[in-house]
Amino acid sequence: MWSNLRDAWKIPEIRKKLLFTLATVFIFRIGSAIPVPYMNQEAIQQLFNNSQGTMLDFLDMMAGGNISQFSVFATSIYPYITASIVIQLLTYAIPSLEELAKDEDGRKKIQIYTRYLGIALAFVTAIGYTFGLFGSALEATTLMQKMIVVLSIVGGTAFLIWLSDQITMYGISNGSSIIIFLGIIGKLPGDIRKMIYGVKIGYISILSVVLFTIFALFVVVIVVAINEGERRIPVQYAKRVVGRKLYGGQATHIPIKVSMSGVMPIIFANAIMSIPGLLSIFNPEGGFARFFTNWFTTQTVKGTVIYTILNIVLIIAFAFFYSSMQFNTVEYSKNLQQQGGFIPGIRPGKPTSVYLQRILDRVVIVGAIVLAFLATIPTFVSIFTKIPIAFGGTSLIIVVGVVIEIVKSIEQQMLIRHYKGFLN
């Protein structure tokens, strides 16, 4: 593996991508340490220490710890993720957006719409944070100072949106996933310190730590397994004569990944589950905030059950939604027929698309259920072991999934240049 790493580093293009990605890590960590002006950091920390609810902890986990520090990246990139979900759903519902999505120029326009909506959502969230959830920590007195506070948060989100696009174009893997990955990793040292402190004072037992570690390793193994699993559908190409040459006749296969959508269903599900918490930030002591805390967080038994059920349903739904976007069975069947290919025992055309859709549904449901199961079990383990570490739930799956995506991205780029596979 180290030999292949050295080979990857020797390729100028890959080395530039790796250095660019590492530079974005450095930039992200700097931004996470820049506090929003006119906000009392001690009051914010006191608010977190005295809070008995889990809404703050949940939102802070989503932002990678940037809310507790109230840095310029307090809203992270989740407004953009939420905007992406909304625009993608509208693309299926509005014919004009569906037409735009069919060509390259149209897709660029949709990306622009998504950025504008993401910044608008960041603006609304920043207002809620400044004057609602953390209103007691606000030290700004003039209108200009209050505008600076809000615009600092919005500017941080806009910068992360731009940075994620730059990572996608010039770095390794998907930019949004990298940003979320960095946020989760950035909160990990603090969570580990809390766990060590809990062990020292006797709140957490050594047995609980061992049990949690075993479950974490189990999650890592299963995530790697489902990311590597695939169903191969055999394809045969008919022989045809063009001039004096004979083409076709070879046999190949269509790979359908068990986890075709990767960690995106979990990221999308987390974004949706955070919406009630974001709506309650305008009145954190109101009835809606208490209702959300009691019914949609893991603070109470009923909240844990409802949160778990909704999270499972959303993960499975987004797994099907994302897979349908990546693998259009109708278009694939048409392309296969035009190229003279067919699946043995299946007639070309509509029967092929129906067969592919049936196989796709069976494969996706298996991967989605496993993914939902893995996203649920660690949460209960964290509650049972009393380990206050956000890394134990869906965050662990996101981290493992993003690492696998990065490794595969490097491997693909090396294979393109006729190098030995990164994993071999």
pLDDT for 378 equals 66
Q: Is pLDDT above 50 for 269?
A: yes
CA distances from 164 to 41, 94, 269, 360 (A): 28, 27, 20, 30
pLDDT band at 192 (very low <50, low <70, confident <90, very high): confident
Query: Is residue 421 in some structural domain?
Result: no
Kindly report which listed range (4-13, 33-42, 289-298, 386-395) carries the lowest average pLDDT score: 386-395
The CATH code of the domain that includes 204 is 1.10.3370.10
Q: List, for residues 372-407, the tens digit of each pLDDT value.
A: 887 777 666 666 666 655 545 567 777 887 888 887
Q: Residues of the chain with pLDDT > 70: what percent?
A: 82
Query: Is residue 40 in some structural domain?
Result: yes
Query: Is residue 289 in some structural domain?
Result: yes
Whether residue 180 contacts residue 64, with contact meaning beta carbons closer than 8 Å, is answered with yes
**147-156, 285-294, 295-304 — which one is most confidently predicted on average?**
147-156
* Range of the structural domain that residue 242 is part of: 2-416
Q: Is pLDDT above 50 for 419?
A: no
Name the domain count of the chain: 1
Query: Is residue 305 in some structural domain?
Result: yes
305: Cα separation from own chain's centroid:
23
Q: Is the dihedral of CA 376, 378, 383, 389 positive or negative?
A: negative
- Give the predicted TM-score (pTM) of the model: 0.77
> 249 versus 255: which is more confidently predicted?
255
Q: What pairing do the DSSP bridges indicate for beta strands 240-242 and 251-257?
A: unpaired
Q: List, for residues 65-104, the tens digit of each pLDDT value.
A: 788 888 899 888 888 988 888 888 888 778 888 788 777 7
Closest to 323 in 3D by CA, of 373, 357, 372, 273: 357
Query: Is residue 262 in some structural domain?
Result: yes
Query: Is residue 424 in some structural domain?
Result: no
Q: Is pLDDT above 60 for 1?
A: no
Query: Is residue 423 in some structural domain?
Result: no
The per-residue pLDDT of the chain, averaged, comes to 79
Query: Is residue 365 in some structural domain?
Result: yes
Q: Is pLDDT above 70 for 410?
A: yes
pLDDT band at 420 (very low <50, low <70, confident <90, very high): very low
